């Protein structure tokens, strides 16, 4: 028999793990609300040109990681490798810049990059992220950093570090690049093949190399922030100032760069001590030229995205557990007539918003009580053939073990009251 497996670099998320995902997604939505971000949903594929222009031709994503294909009319389309370019496109297309001076948007969904799969690195992975478009103030940079940290704390993540840097702007970037090149020039042989290629095409990207041998060498490199222009220096100073007054702990990482070309000025990452090699749980920064690059009126912006796989992995490694949603009640009819009665009751109870399961099988009572245990329900309502005569069932407390006879007429109200009390107590 043919065995089907998931494609390399993708994975199924089974119900036990989905509970963690839902928790993370729910918390993120709450935090986005707190900071007044509104959700935006964009297509999963876009014109390839959008990413070429937005992300930059000399980045890893563009040069080797895109899932691009031609549609039936020969157009080149690409499964989105990240969310920012799409959000910026949608913002421009809808003319939102003219309608609101500041657009605070968040998104979530699968992203696709043809990378080498390993722990915490997939070919289909999921991000949630936010973008502030029209973000002129350095305060906006720090608001997204604070939001990210706030969110990770809300899902119970510990031992995180916020790393920040400034990668300059078109004024100072050429100086930064030249400086790097003059330091690296004599030592090109010590770098990996990829870095040697980046030397000409995009020397700043060398600093983002994951090769340990290259990394050892980087320690000797100059700090890029030394050569920032006056405007970038001031901005960087303001960012640190806001972070300081908001009491957010951070580390200045003078060699931190990011994998996408659109970043200007502030870049940041949050890393976790519980992730191993792929230690960044989120990354972001300012991108003042992306909107202009995509043909819009220049509009400064800042944002970040986090990887759900990595957030969930940290929770698992830290043994953070969440309560999975479970049915409250199991209806356990014995025999066909009882089954009919149970179907009617199930229907009525569910209309009253009581989460329940019904074991309609012909198995024995003790087998059905085992189902109740496995499901973790609070009560089982047993409908025996005998009890049908006086229109009653037995409500069994699955925690205490006690049992009480309750009529079909009363059971709806009874369960509803108990469930509401349980909800109040377990908020
Ligand atoms: P990394 O340095 O780990 O490759 P990146 O710089 O490519 O990350 P971004 O493009 O900024 O990351 O994406 C933000 C976040 O999305 C990352 O911090 C990470 O949590 C997650 N992420 C990125 N690529 C992957 C992937 N291939 N698999 C799983 N998660 C990913
Ligand atoms: Mg990457």
265 lines ligand 1 (CB under 6 A): no
pLDDT, tens digit, for every residue of 113-168?
999 999 999 999 999 999 999 999 999 999 999 999 999 999 999 999 999 999 99
Please determine, for residue 226, whether its predicted confidence score (pLDDT) is greater than 80.
no
Question: Ligand 1: which atom is nearest the Cα of residue 210?
Answer: 2
Q: With bands split at pLDDT 50, 70 and 90, how would you rate the model's confidence at 1?
A: low
Ligand with an atom nearest the CA of residue 118: 1
Q: Which atom of ligand 1 is nearest to the CA of 61?
A: 7
Ligand 1 atom closest to 127 (CA):
16
- 207 alpha carbon – ligand 2 mean position (Å): 13
Q: Write the pLDDT tens digit of every residue in 266-297.
A: 999 999 998 887 789 999 999 999 999 999 99
pLDDT higher than threshold 80 for residue 170: yes
Q: Does the pLDDT of residue 29 top 70, yes or no?
A: yes
Q: Is the CB of residue 82 below 6 angstroms from any atom belonging to ligand 1?
A: yes
Q: Residue 255: which residues within 8 A CB-CB, separation 6 or more? A: 165, 207, 218, 221, 223, 224
Residue 259, ligand 1, Cβ within 6 A: yes
Residue 188: which pLDDT band, with cuts at 50, 70 and 90?
confident
| 406 has a pLDDT exceeding 70 | yes
For residue 411, pLDDT beyond 90? yes
The answer to whether residues 61 and 51 touch, using CB atoms and an 8 Å cutoff, is yes
Is-contact 269 282, C-beta < 8 A?
A: yes
Cα-to-centroid distance, 282 and ligand 1 (Å): 7
Average pLDDT over residues 376-396: 92
Distance between CA atoms of residues 324 and 327, nearest Å? 10
Provide the CATH number for the domain formed by 329-420 in this structure. Answer: 3.40.50.800
The residue contributing the CA closest to ligand 1 atom 23 is 307
Is the model more confident about 175 or about 86?
86
Task: State yes or no: pLDDT of 219 exceeds 80.
Answer: no
Average pLDDT over residues 24-43: 98
- Looking at CATH, the fold of the domain delimited by 15-172+228-317 is given as BirA Bifunctional Protein; domain 2 (3.30.930)
| pTM score of the predicted model | 0.92
Which atom of ligand 1 lies nearest, measured to the CA of 208? 2
| Residue pair 172/178 in contact by the 8 Å Cβ criterion | no
* Ligand 1 contacts CB of residue 127 (under 6 A): yes
Is 84's C-beta closer than 6 angstroms to any atom of ligand 1? no
pLDDT at 208: 81
Q: How far is the CA of 390 from the centre of ligand 1 (A)?
A: 63
CB atoms within 10 A of CB 307: 23
pLDDT tens sequence across 61-99: 998 999 999 999 999 999 999 999 999 999 999 999 999
From start to end of 28-89, where are the E strands? 38-39, 45-47, 67-70, 76-79
**Range 346-370 average pLDDT:** 97
Span 9-38, average pLDDT = 97
282 close to ligand 1 (CB < 6 Angstrom)? yes
- Residue 221 in this model has a pLDDT that exceeds 80: no
Q: What percent of the chain has pLDDT over 90?
A: 77
Question: For residue 274, what pLDDT is reported?
Answer: 87
Ligand 1 contact via 257 beta carbon (within 6 Å):
no
Looking from the CA of residue 279, the nearest atom of ligand 1 is 3
* Residue 35 host element (H or E): none
* 349-359 mean pLDDT: 97
Q: How many Å lie between the centroid of ligand 1 and the Cα of residue 122? A: 9
Nearest to residue 286, comparing CAs of 262, 252, 305? Answer: 262
Please report, for the chain, the start and end positions of each structural domain, with discontinuous segments joined by +: 15-172+228-317, 329-420
Q: What is the mean pLDDT of the chain?
A: 93
Query: Which pLDDT score, from 0 to 100, does residue 104 have?
Result: 98
């Amino acid at each position: 028999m043919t065995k089907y497996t998931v494609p390399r670099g993708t994975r199924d998320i089974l119900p036990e793990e989905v509970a963690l995902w839902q928790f993370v997604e729910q918390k993120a939505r709450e935090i986005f609300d707190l900071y007044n971000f509104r959700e935006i949903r964009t297509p999963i594929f876009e014109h390839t040109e959008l990413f070429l222009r937005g992300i930059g031709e000399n980045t890893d994503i563009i040069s080797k990681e895109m899932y691009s294909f031609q549609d039936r009319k020969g157009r080149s389309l690409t499964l989105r490798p990240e969310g920012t370019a799409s959000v910026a496109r949608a913002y421009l297309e809808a003319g939102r810049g003219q309608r609101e001076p500041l657009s605070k948007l968040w998104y979530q969904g699968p992203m696709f990059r043809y990378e080498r799969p390993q722990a915490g690195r997939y070919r289909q992975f999921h991000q949630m992220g936010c973008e502030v478009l029209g973000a002129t103030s350095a305060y906006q940079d720090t608001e997204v950093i604070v939001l990210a940290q706030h969110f990770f704390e809300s899902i119970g993540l510990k031992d995180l570090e916020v790393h920040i840097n400034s990668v300059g702007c078109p004024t100072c970037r050429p100086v930064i690049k030249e400086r790097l090149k003059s330091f690296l020039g004599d030592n090109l042989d010590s770098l990996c093949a990829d870095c040697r290629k980046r030397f000409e095409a995009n020397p700043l990207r060398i600093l983002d190399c994951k090769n340990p041998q290259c990394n050892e060498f980087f320690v000797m490199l100059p700090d890029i922030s030394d050569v920032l222009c006056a405007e970038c220096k001031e901005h960087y100073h303001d960012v640190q100032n806001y972070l300081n007054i908001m009491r957010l702990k951070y580390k200045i990482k003078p060699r931190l760069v990011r994998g996408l070309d659109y970043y200007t000025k502030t870049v940041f990452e949050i890393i976790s001590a519980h992730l191993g090699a792929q230690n960044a749980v989120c990354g972001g920064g300012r991108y003042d030229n992306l909107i202009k690059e995509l043909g819009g009126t220049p509009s400064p912006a800042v944002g970040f995205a986090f990887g759900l796989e990595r957030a969930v992995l940290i929770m698992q490694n830290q043994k953070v557990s969440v309560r999975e949603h479970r049915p409250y009640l199991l209806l356990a009819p014995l025999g066909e007539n009882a089954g009919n009665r149970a179907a009617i009751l199930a229907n009525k109870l569910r209309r009253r918003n009581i989460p329940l399961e019904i074991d309609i099988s012909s198995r024995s009572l003790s087998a059905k009580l085992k189902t109740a245990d496995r499901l973790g329900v609070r009560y089982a309502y047993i409908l025996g053939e005998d009890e049908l005569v006086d229109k009653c069932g037995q409500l069994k407390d699955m925690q205490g073990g006690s049992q009480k006879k309750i009529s079909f007429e009363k059971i709806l109200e009874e369960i509803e009251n108990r469930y509401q009390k349980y909800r109040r107590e377990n908020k």
